[in-house]
Amino acid sequence: MSLASVGQGVQAFPLFTAVRESRLVYPILLSTHLACIAIFGGLVLITNLRLLGWALTDIPATDMIRSLRRWKQFGFVVMATCGVLLAGSKASEYLPNPFFQLKMALLTGIALHGVYFRRTVYRTVMPVEPTKARAAAVMSLILWVGVVSMGRWIAYYDPPPPPDETAAPRSRHMNLQTTNSVRLPTTTCATVAVIQVTAFGGPMRIMNNTAVPSETCTSIAAITNRAARFSARVAC
């Protein structure tokens, strides 16, 4: 069973089907997801800059983490909820996407990162050790930048064509070569040229737009006879 077939089963749920087929719900969820990423990402960036000692050094790191915790939790819940609805509504496209898979792997890394530094950095009541604070901040920045980048690159992935369509370009190329190999009779172009010159005059008359009325009124039978005689001479 492929990931695409699993995605087909997931997106067939009524909730995901309603999101996918709605004209307003999907774009609203997408906009909310991106807005929460911006706000939540800004809070994460401020926290990491403080842990690195690059900004707001007059505020204790523990106090900043504690004051921003509720806002980050709320932003993450809204962002994750919108992300699940968006991914579930088009699961057959997202699950085989390598950028989506890498994004999920990085989110798992973020969860493990939070568990690992929970007692020593994010939930401690004691002053944070500078070494552990820097390590937590650097890892957090790398992981979150990777998540945002992979989320952006999801739209630029082109899935490979099915196996039964891989030979289609070659078939079209062969048909094009066969079509180009067809040649019209050698007298066709000469016949058309005789008809045009007989009806509208020589090249200079055509350029000067001074066709002779008697020539332009020549009957179709006379034009055809002249063309036939000229074609016979060319064929010989």
Give the pLDDT confidence of 44-57 residue by residue, as tens digits. Answer: 999 999 999 888 88
Q: pTM of the full predicted structure?
A: 0.65
| Cβ proximity of 198 and 227 under 8 Å | yes
pLDDT for res 202: 53
- DSSP for 89-149, written as a single string: HTHHHHTT-HHHHHHHHHHHHHHHHHHHTIIIIIS-SSPPPHHHHHHHHHHHHHHHHHHHH
What percent of the chain lies above the pLDDT cut of 90?
A: 32
Give me the chain's average pLDDT, please.
Answer: 78
What are the CA-CA distances from residue 127 to residues 70, 133, 141, 172 (Å)?
20, 10, 21, 70
Give the pLDDT confidence of 101-123 residue by residue, as tens digits. Answer: 999 999 999 999 999 998 889 98
Give the pLDDT confidence of 132-187 residue by residue, as tens digits. Answer: 999 999 999 999 999 999 988 998 888 777 666 555 555 555 454 544 555 545 55
3-state SS assignment for residue 57? coil
pLDDT of 226 over the 80 cut:
no
R_g of the chain, CA atoms, integer Å: 36
